[in-house]
Structure 1
Amino acid sequence: MICNICFKMLRGQVGRQWRGSWDPSFDHQPSLGSLQDSARSECFICRRILEDMPPGHRRSKHVSSRQKPTFIAAHIMALERGDYYRLEFTLHGDTHSQSSLGTLLLEPTSLSYHDLEARPLTHSAESSFESNVYTPTSTALNSTEVLQLARYWISKCMSDDHENCPNKDFSNRFIPPSKSSHQMEDDNPTGSGSRLLQKQASGADSLMSLNPPFYPTRLLILGPVDEPFVKLIVTKSADGQDSNCLTEPKGQYVTLSHCWGKTGQTFSLNEKNLGVFQSKGIPLKELPRTFRDAIHFARRLSQSVKYIWIDSLCIMQKNEADWLQESTQMYQVYRNSYCNISATFAEDSHHGLYANRDPQHLWGEEVNLNTKELVPSEFRVRSGGGSLDNHGARIQRCRIVDPSHWERKVEAAPVNTRAWVLQERLLAPRVIHFCEDQIAWECRELDASESSTDGIADVEVKFGEIRDRGRIRLKSLVAQEYGQQDSSSNFEDGAKQAQENWNLITEKFSKTNLTKPKDKLIALAGIAEQFYGKIAAPYVAGLWKTAYFASQLLWLVEPLYQKPKFFHPSRRPDVYRAPSFSWAAIDAPQGIRCGEIQEEEKLLIKVLRVSVQPEEHPNSQFGLVKKGGFIEIECQKLPIVISTKSRRTPEGVRDDVYIWTLVDGREKDARMHPNVYLDSPEDDFEHIRAQHQSSSTWLVPAYKNDSGDLIGLLLQQKSNNSPHFQRVGLSIIPRYISSEKEIMSEAWVDENGNFKSLEEEAIAKIVEKDVIQIF
């Protein structure tokens, strides 16, 4: 339902105000208190607005006599593509000068009332109809209703309807024998899915003999629903060889994704209790609530599911050797599971899966929209700006679509801020998310929730714009291992697409959190192993040594802006993790942004040598790297000074913007250049400033994009006259600020402002031998 204020605004355009725009604007709610009252009365729209409002604003219902009253404004516009109307809300007042609260979309349905005279503004004028849609009624997530929906999604995923998802025979698929970690050949056979394999083999029995199903080293036997304990089994010895004394598992297993919590795990596997867990089992009453709920749900999910894998109960805690061994199997553990159960909303292992909820909050809502003067801007120009509705209002029945639903319920939920969980989501064939008030579903072909059981709208609101098919479906980024395979596609095109997908994953991964910063590359190793089959190139500390390697060096760390100040929270870890040219050398809560993927021939730098050695432990190709890694590049370089620029704000003068200037004595080069993105100002800037007199900071022009912007690496020389540098940032010189001739010597560019050959410029080295001693 919606409140009377929203009903009158949408149906009768009550409260409309002129705010200098063709699109109708309205005074929606007169105060925060009124908004809260409507939300409490179960108004679908007002409740959604309140969810997006900053907590500090929600608590404020009154203002002083010297302040302008706080009120909510609404704006409705027709999108140019014609299949949605946009409903946007802003917060106004002395301290909230037009702050955006959120955006909803109104999608026209098949039930529309065109060219009708506007009806009286009463609720009786609303047309009701029966809809065959999922309408939950259960008040908790442990209900049979929720379980049945999860089973329905699984059955659809395993059916022929989902051609790109693994079916029930996926565990019997044929996989060629693994190559050594140093072989850089394509390991991705065409058509590895079981559907295709059934055409290539004589039957499941022959496939089973070729490739027995994978099982993790340890599993928990689920047992009956009312069993008061679970037992641990060991499927193989530590060295990976099967033994007669080990348990041979039969059946499917599920995995659990969860947050350990700030207080640490209170119950886990160790060398002392291993024998007890195997012989006597683990009493459920001693387990955290999340574990108990996951076991209860898994026991009811399917008769074929016999086991559950939980990291803290299946990996030896405080045993470095066992952890390293098991962490290298994460790729196989998750990809071979029946499904992943995710405690998505739980902040720790004691929160549980089974949240209570008001089921009516999940019901969809439809409204009648008065479309008078709601015309796409492009059409207004062609029609001369006249109104299209001269014979009365057009009432359009619309379904309310929340474009940020998936982001709020899943992407931004606590468990998905964990770095380790990203690979769990990507590698598992399907994920069941337990959110704050509903379950959600994720597989290669469908993202869904109890609010949108048939699929989440493939639209996204980004930087204030509605982007059709703009929402990135996470599981669509990983290389396909099953289902229909396109054998006719060009391998190079596929490799470039895989590289672009890797960059998107990298950007998302860089925003996640790790309890132990040194685990950054290990937490990504499973995904890297999966991508290796498609990219087919050496893996270099988070980058790939392909034809696009040089362009992968052009990542940047953007500052955070919280009015009126810029913040630079990125830091270098206290322990060595990666060479400075890799994004993995930086911890940036705001994430990193990858550069445009380009072949090296289009860049202004040339990579001559890459020397990064993996640590010596199993599957080290995708994990930790040794100190001393470096790349050798051929480039042009310019001596610069990096400094801060003062700017005035309402709160005083701030020095939170970085600039650079050339220092080779040319008068025309005294220009200050902004758009400086330092990797970690907190760690690097004081050292950079202390070395100004020796001109130890350099700009290396690296790429000129199609817009004419020049992108350059910022490097710090380790010592005078040394060929060794380290990366400290990146700079973008927009075309409108300066041409290449104003930045560099005329000897380096031709008469058209294009860069000359790099052959005459000296070779520079960026060598990272001991980052910790430097930083």
Structure 2
Amino acid sequence: MLEEGFAYHNMCGQSEWRMQRTDHSYLGLFVDFDSVLAKRINDRYIYGDPLAGLPLKQVQHWIRKCSEKHEKCFEHPTNLPTRVIDVRTARLKLLDPSPSGAHQYAALSHCWGTCRDFLTTRENLKERTSGFELTDLPATFRDAVTTARVLSIPYLWIDSVCILQGDKDDWEIEGSKMADVYSNATLCIGASDANDDAEGFLRQRKRIPTLDVNIIFTLPTPGRTQLTARLYTQLPLKRPGLHEQYPALHNRAWCLQERYLSPRILFFDRDNMHWECLEDVWSEAGRRLSKHRQMLPDVMPKIDTAGSLSHAPWYNMIREYTTRAISFSTDKLPAVSALALRVAQETGDEYRAGLWKSDLLRGLLWYRVVRYNFRARESAAPWDPNQQRPRSFIAPTWSWASYLGAVDFLGIESSLHVLPSAKLVHSSVVTPGKNQFGEVESGYTTILSPLLTFEEQPFTFDTANERKYGWTHDSLVSRDTETDEVIITSCFDYPNEVRQGWLLGIPLVYRNVADRQHDPENREGSAHETSEQPWLNVSGILIMEKRGNEKVYERVGCFSIEPVQLDPFLNFLRDLWVQETQIV
């Protein structure tokens, strides 16, 4: 007998993989998604061909259910992108311009890899619009065409085919439309496991040997019914490696915004397909993976515990984004420009080289993350203490985009408050092209604040926290505070960078130090308090004069001081030199 919602598994002794600690195999039952037993048995059989027979019906079921029953996902046909591939006939054709009016189309999310076999340029555009054969395309593009055809989607958008490569003007114009391309697509096709466009993603999946068995079960109405299910023996698999947990597509920086923006995504993973829309996340194997996926509202600002608007969701997204591989450092801002456009449209906030003007003083508090364990197939190398600041300009030094590696943000913490002594005077960036959320060629931020003075001391990374985050204790000596009464920690953007003379610090924010009680004789805290005022951590950015340009500064890192008390610290700041500081 089977009860609603149960999957049946039976442990059946030792397997041949005795070197593994969990060396038991088990019996399980598969049924197809359209079986009467599907509500009682969760597991689904994975067929070899992902787009034939029942797998195709499963995908069509997901699309139909999403289009007809999901209010958040309800589809309104929209205008096509500037160029699309017409897949309705045997001979393919790039349409330039695309047909007017509302139409369905699919968009491909893929890893280019090293394959450059079918790029559209200004020189070959006429050839593309006259038509080409399916066999002319690399494997991933062929598979995308096949997918669109079997799902009766007439048009397909592929970035490297529909945007003119090597044409800066066309790239900037079309890049600025990326938000609409993915958010308006009927379906985004995710080539999850293809490292390169030459690989393709419609591969035969491994089939598990099964034995058909008859299942007798009782319906809610009187009577008994006999149906067939598949009995299988599953050997325990080793815990998936990092490359299996994070397929190639999910390591590509450009693909993060594609995932946030697409209302429906069909991912072709190594062993099965999985579906994501705004209301459901399902695996072809029969499991509902999650009730929530990454989507556009997840990057919108939220009201924090202090009642102010915080861009912490944006910082969270950037934190993941900077762990991903990107081929060209100049793409760091363009690859999130579509998300930035949507946030600006929703909030009216002003964008500043990856940060937001309304929350800029907190947004400046990013810091590099020392990553020794990173995803396999991720091209971003582990942190190198000898890394140098890039010679070519990518972003102002105060922007996270100026750092070549993974970053995190202090501004994610909801308990972070801007010090009343810090005022944003002005901030501006210059964008050279037609995408105001893309590349920048210059920028500055001016802050009115007291300045702390520090002297750098030699340091090494010797604690677990320092190995993980790159924050060091006692690498700075303050000329303004009694250093035996506070702990000063710092994190330099490029530790090996030559810095001469005194460093300046701009204190920006404070937060309560949780469960910390302070005694000057015990830097680790004591069992009693000396005042009713809470003890605080104060954080800010480290700056130094730009070489050859007096009174203009560059960011070189960030710092924290604790424990201090707010009123005494503000009184202390009032006695310091206050100035407008321009950081570039």
TM over 0.5: yes
Query: Does residue 553 of structure 2 align to residue 725 of structure 1?
Result: yes
CA distance in 2, matches of 1:664, 1:311: 54
Q: State the partner residue of 1:524.
A: 336
State yes or no: 1:550 paired with 2:370.
no
Q: What is the CA-CA distance between 1:295 and the residue it aligns to? A: 0.5
After superposition, residues 36-115 of structure 1 pair within 5 angstroms as none
Q: In the TM superposition, what is the alpha-carbon distance from 1:675 to its structure 2 partner? A: 4.2
* C-alpha displacement of 1:291: 0.6
How big is the shift at 1:660?
Answer: 1.8
For 1:291-344, what per-residue CA distance to the aligned partner results, in whole angstroms no more than 9, with x for missing partners? Answer: 111100110113xx2100011111111111211111111111111110100101
* Structure 2 equivalent of residue 508 of structure 1: 320
Q: Secondary structure at the residue paired with 2:476?
A: strand
What does 1:367-766 align with in structure 2 at a 5 Å threshold? 412-453=246-287, 455-457=288-290, 473-475=293-295, 477-478=297-298, 499-546=311-358, 548-561=359-372, 568=385, 572-588=389-405, 590-596=406-412, 602-603=418-419, 605-620=421-436, 622-645=437-460, 647=462, 659-662=474-477, 664=479, 669=483, 675-681=489-495, 685-688=496-499, 691=500, 694-695=501-502, 697-707=503-513, 708-718=536-546, 722-733=550-561, 735=562, 739-740=563-564, 753-756=568-571, 758=573, 761-766=576-581
Q: Distance in 1 between matches of 2:394 and 2:60?
A: 42
Alpha-carbon distance between aligned partners in 1 of 2:242 and 2:294, rounded to the nearest angstrom: 12
- Contact 2:422/2:449 (<8 A) preserved: yes
Residue 275, structure 1, aligned to residue 139, structure 2: no
**SS class of match (1:299):** helix
Q: 1:645 to 1:508 in 2, by over 3 A?
A: closer
- Verify the 8 A CA contact 1:441 1:447 in the aligned structure 2: yes
**SS of 1:677 mapped into structure 2:** strand
Change (3 A) 1:300 1:134: farther
Contact 1:537 1:544 in 2 (8 A): yes
Q: Residue 108 of structure 2 is aligned with which of 241, 244, 256?
A: 256
1:435-493 CA deviation, whole Å, 9 max, x = no partner? 1111111122222212344x2156xxxxxxxxxxxxx731164479xxxxxxxx99999
Deviation at 1:36, TM superposition (A): 5.4
Task: Write the distance in 1 (CA, Å) between the matches of 2:484 and 2:307.
Answer: 43
CA distance in 2, matches of 1:259, 1:607: 43
The answer on 1:329 being equivalent to 2:157 is no
* Paired residues of 2:447 and 2:580 also in contact (CA < 8 A): yes
SS at match of 2:506: strand
Call closer, same or farther: CA 1:152–1:577 in 2, change over 3 Å: same
Instruction: Please give the secondary structure, in 2, of the residue aligned with 1:159.
Output: helix
Displacement of 1:409? 5.7
**Aligned counterparts of 1:699 and 1:719: Cα–Cα separation in 2:** 18
CA–CA separation in structure 1 for the residues paired with 2:367 and 2:279: 32
Partner of 2:220: none
Is the partner of 1:293 in helix, strand or coil?
Answer: helix
Within 5 Å, give how 1:137-216 maps onto structure 2.
Answer: 137-160=46-69, 162-165=70-73, 167-168=74-75, 170-171=76-77, 213-216=78-81
C-alpha distance 603-498 of structure 1, shift in aligned 2 (>3 A): closer
Would the alpha carbon gap of residues 555 and 491 (structure 1) be closer, same or farther in structure 2, given more than 3 Å must change? closer
Instruction: Work out the CA distance in 2 between the residues paired with 1:599 and 1:623.
Output: 31
Q: 1:156 Cα deviation (Å)?
A: 2.2
Picking from 279, 284, 295, the partner of 2:145 is: 295
**Structure holding more strand per residue:** 2
Counterpart residue type for residue 270 of structure 2: E
* Contact 1:409 1:435 (8 Å CA) reproduced: no
Q: In the TM superposition, what is the alpha-carbon distance from 1:414 to its structure 2 partner?
A: 0.7
Instruction: Tell me the CA shift for residue 559 of structure 1.
Output: 1.7
Provide the TM-score with structure 2 as the length reference: 0.76
Cα distance in 2 between the residues matched to 1:569 and 1:356: 45
1:275 CA drift (Å): 1.4
Q: Within 2, Cα distance between the matches of 1:495 and 1:157?
A: 36
**Is 1:343 the counterpart of 2:191 in the alignment?**
yes
Mapped to 2, the partners of 1:496 and 1:570 lie a distance apart of 37
> How many residues matched?
510
For the Cα contact (< 8 Å) 1:604–1:758, is it kept in 2?
A: no
In structure 2, distance between residues paired with 1:573 and 1:159: 50
Report the AA paired with residue 296 of structure 1: T
Specify whether residues 764 and 136 from structure 1 end up closer, same or farther in structure 2 by C-alpha distance, changes over 3 A only. farther
Specify the alignment match of 2:213 in structure 1. none
- Which runs of 5 or more structure 2 residues have no equivalent in the other structure? 1-8, 29-37, 211-236, 375-381, 465-469, 514-535
Q: Secondary structure at the match of 1:158?
A: helix
Letter in 2 for 1:585: S
Specify the code of the residue in structure 1 equivalent to 2:79.
F
- Verify the 8 A CA contact 1:723 1:765 in the aligned structure 2: no
Q: Which residue does the alignment assign to 1:381?
A: none
CA deviations on 1:562-588 (whole Å, 9 max, x unpaired) are 69x985487643321211111111121
Deviation at 1:605, TM superposition (A): 4.7
Please tell me the residue identity of whatever aligns with 2:82.
T
Amino acid at match of 1:583: W
Alignment pair present for 1:222 and 2:100: no
Question: Conserved in 2, the CA contact under 8 Å of 1:609 and 1:633?
Answer: yes
Letter in 2 for 1:164: K
Tell me by how many angstroms 1:535 deviates: 2.3
CA spacing shift, 1:568–1:249, aligned 2, 3 Å? farther
The residue type equivalent to 1:417 in the other structure is N
The one-letter amino acid paired with 1:456 is L
Question: In 1, are the aligned partners of 2:79 and 2:101 still within 8 Å (CA)?
Answer: no
Once the two structures are superposed, residues 521-562 of structure 1 have per-residue CA deviations (whole angstroms, 9 ceiling, x without a partner) of 11111001111123221111111111x321111122122346
Q: Is the 8 A contact 2:93 2:129 kept in 1?
A: yes
Cα separation, partners in 2 of 1:647 and 1:137, compared to 1, 3 Å: closer
- Could you report, residue by residue, the CA deviation over 1:59-103 in whole angstroms, capped at 9, with x for unpaired residues? xxxxxxxxxxxxxxxxxxxxxxxxxxxxxxxxxxxxxxxxxxxxx
In the alignment, structure 1 residue 34 sits paired with structure 2 residue 18: yes
How far has the Cα of 1:497 moved from its partner? Answer: 6.8
Q: Which moved more, 1:702-711 or 1:335-344?
A: 702-711
Q: Structure 1 residues 725 and 271, CA, compared in 2 at 3 Å: closer, same or farther?
A: closer
Cα distance in 1 between the residues matched to 2:558 and 2:573:
20
How far apart are 1:767 and its partner, in Å?
3.5
Q: TM-score, length-normalised on structure 1?
A: 0.58
SS in 2 for 1:356: coil
**Alpha-carbon spacing, 1:4–1:729, altered in 2? closer, same or farther (3 Å):** farther
In structure 1, the residue corresponding to 2:79 is in which secondary structure? coil
Q: Are the equivalent residues in 1 in contact too, given 2:169–2:433 (CA < 8 A)?
A: no
SS of 1:298's equivalent in the other structure is: helix
- Letter paired with 2:123: K
Q: Secondary structure at the match of 2:341?
A: helix
- CA RMSD between the two structures: 4.2
Partner amino acid for 1:703?
V
Query: Which whole-Å CA distance do the structure 2 matches of 1:494 and 1:439 have between them?
Result: 43
Q: Does 1:133 align with 2:117?
A: no
- The one-character-per-residue Cα deviations of 1:369-405 (angstroms, maximum 9, x if unpaired) are xxxxxxxxxxxxxxxxxxxxxxxxxxxxxxxxx9x99
